[in-house]
Amino acid sequence: VLPQRPLFDDAAPKNISGLTGNAAYLHCLVHNLANRSVSWIRQRDLHILTVDRYTYTTDQRFQVIHSEISKDWILKIKYAQVRDSGNYECQISTKPVKSYIVRLNIFAPQARIV
Amino acid sequence: AVCDVRFSGGIRNETVTLGRDASLECTVEGLGNHKVGWIHLKRQMIVAVHTRMITRISRYSVTHEDDKTWTLHINGVREEDRGYYMCQVNTKPALSQVGYLRVVVPPTIVDEDSSDSEIQVREKKNVTLRCSGRGRPDPRLMWRREDGSMIVPDDRNPVRQVDGEVLQLASVSRTHMGSYLCIASNGVPPSVSKRITLKVEFPPQI
Which of A48, A58, A93 lies closest to B37 in CB terms? A48
CB–CB contact A51 B35 (8 Å):
no
- The CB density around residue A5, as the number of other CB atoms within 10 Å, is 12
Question: In chain A, which residue's Cα lies nearest the Cα of B88?
Answer: A47
Q: Is A37 on the interface with B (CB under 8 A)?
A: yes
pLDDT of A2 > 70? The answer is no
Specify the 3-state DSSP secondary structure of B194.
strand
- Phi (first) and psi of residue B174, to 5 degrees: -65, -20
Residue A60 carries which side chain, given as an amino acid letter?
Q
In chain B, residues with a C-beta closer than 8 Å to the C-beta of A96 are: 43, 45
One-letter identity of residue A19 = L
Residues of B with CB under 8 A from a CB of A: 34-35, 37, 39, 41, 43-46, 49, 52, 54-57, 86, 88, 90-92, 94, 96
3-state secondary structure of A87: strand
**Residues A30 and A64 sit within 8 Å (Cβ to Cβ):** no
User: Residue B176: beta bridge partners?
Assistant: none
pLDDT in single tens digits along all 206 residues of chain B: 446 899 999 999 999 999 999 999 999 999 999 999 999 999 999 999 999 999 999 999 999 999 999 999 999 999 999 999 999 999 998 999 999 999 999 999 999 999 999 999 999 999 999 999 999 999 999 999 999 999 998 877 899 999 999 999 999 998 999 999 999 999 999 999 999 999 999 888 77
Question: A39 — contact with chain B (CB < 8 Å)?
Answer: yes
Predicted confidence at residue B1, as pLDDT, reads 47
* Contact assignment for A51 to B96 by CB distance below 8 Å: no
- Which residue of B90, B97, B98 is the best one to mutate when testing the A interface, meaning the one whose CB has the most A CBs within 10 A? B90
Q: Whole-number mean pLDDT of chain A?
A: 94
- The complex's ipTM works out to 0.89
Q: What does the pLDDT look like over A71-108, one tens digit per residue?
A: 999 999 999 999 999 999 999 999 999 999 999 999 99
- pLDDT at B142 (0 to 100): 97
Give A41's contacts in chain B (Cβ within 8 Å). Answer: 39, 44, 46
Please count the other Cβ atoms lying within 10 Å of the Cβ belonging to residue B184.
25
- Which of B49, B52, B80, B87 is the mutation pick for testing A, counting most A CBs within 10 A? B49
- How many C-beta atoms lie closer than 10 Å to residue A113's C-beta? 3
Question: Strand A74-77 relative to strand A24-26: parallel, antiparallel, unpaired?
Answer: antiparallel
Whether the Cβ atoms of residue A98 and residue A8 lie closer than 8 Å to each other: yes
Contacts of B57 in chain A (CB under 8 A): 95
The CA-atom distances, in angstroms, between B63 and each of B60, B67, B99, B144 are 10, 10, 17, 49
State how beta strands B69-74 and B22-29 pair: antiparallel
Whether residues B44 and A58 touch (CB distance < 8 A) is answered with no
Q: What is the pLDDT of residue A3?
A: 72
Is residue A88 within 8 Å of residue A44, measured between CB atoms? no
